[in-house]
Amino acid sequence: MTYETKIEDGIIIFTFNNPKVNAINVETLQGIDEAVDKLNADESLKGMVFTGVGRTFCGGFDLNTFTSFTSGEEVIKWFKFEEGVLLKLFSCKKPIVSAINGGATAAGMIYAMASDYNIVVNNPKVKIGMTEIKLGMSLSPAMGNIMRFGLDTDRNYRDIIMKGELVDPMFCVERGIFDELAEADELVDKAKAKICALYDTLGHPFIQLKDLQKRQMGALIKKELEEYDWNLMADTFMDEKVNKLLKKVLASIS
């Protein structure tokens, strides 16, 4: 399994566990999909915490998958499923808090930004960011809009997305990209406490307030997914130069 789940105090703890960088593959996506469905359906559950095993939160999508697509149709099928899971996560009615224990890059950062609150480890050596632009890749509708929603300002979008450089946790907190710093041994407990603070109020108004906050963006993402030219994504991953560069990155982390 590329992930672990358990329930503590009415909260799902979803842990990325796919050595070496806790990459997200289709199994991980299926696990997230199922966890969000369970969270929405089970009245006894309050929310979900994302975290990672070891020194990495999540290093992005699995490059083994990205370098082994055999056709454009395969690329399109994969990303249509991924985008549906990401939109479902973003729209989950209960609080999602990421306890970012280490590096959060590419899809690792995207899935953190789909959360409602982000607590990041207080360690200047941790690297966070989006390097897609340097690898010849853009972002699909759910990814791009969720990053724009979370980054909040043109300056943050430019500095994170357009520059493609990695930054540290303090940069993210100072810019309002992530919400707070915490020591490594406090991360999950603080994330659970935040979920309780958000959800454990009379009548659970968080559900309606989150819907008001995210409904418009969710509708926009759904519309753009319906209208999106998926051949753009297929062409990117069928490009020999992009594939070669991704294989080089994969070799460097393997």
Per-residue pLDDT at 254 = 74
Going by C-beta distance under 8 Å and a sequence separation of 6 or more, which residues neighbour residue 81?
26, 29
Per-residue pLDDT at 146 = 98
**Model's pTM, two decimal places?**
0.96
Q: For 29-66, how does the pLDDT look when each residue is reduced to its tens digit (9 = 90+)?
A: 999 999 999 999 999 999 999 999 999 999 999 999 99
- Which tokens in the block code for residue 196? 């309780």
What is the side-by-side strand order in the sheet with 96-100? 3-8, 11-16, 47-52, 96-100, 117-121, 180-182
Q: For 110-145, how does the pLDDT look when each residue is reduced to its tens digit (9 = 90+)?
A: 999 999 999 999 999 999 999 999 999 999 999 999
Mean pLDDT of 228-236: 96
Per-residue pLDDT at 13 = 98
> Given a cut of 90, is residue 15 above it in pLDDT?
yes
Count how many residues are written for the chain.
254
C-beta atoms surrounding 14 within 10 Å: 24
Per-residue pLDDT at 47 = 98
> Given a cut of 90, is residue 253 above it in pLDDT?
no
Q: Which residues pair with 15 in a beta bridge?
A: 4, 51
Per-residue pLDDT at 41 = 98
Is 23:60 a contact under the CB 8 Å cutoff? yes
Domains and CATH numbers, the chain: 3-185 (3.90.226.10)
| Block residue for tokens 């979920």 | 195
Q: What are phi and psi of 109, to 5 degrees?
A: -70, -40
Calculate ∠ Cα 98-59-215, nearest 5°.
45
Per-residue pLDDT at 27 = 98
Measure CA 248 to chain center: 23
State the Cα–Cα distance between residues 98 and 13, nearest whole angstrom. Answer: 10
CA 236 to each of CA 21, 50, 66, 76, 166: distance values in angstroms, whole numbers, following the listed order: 23, 29, 10, 11, 23
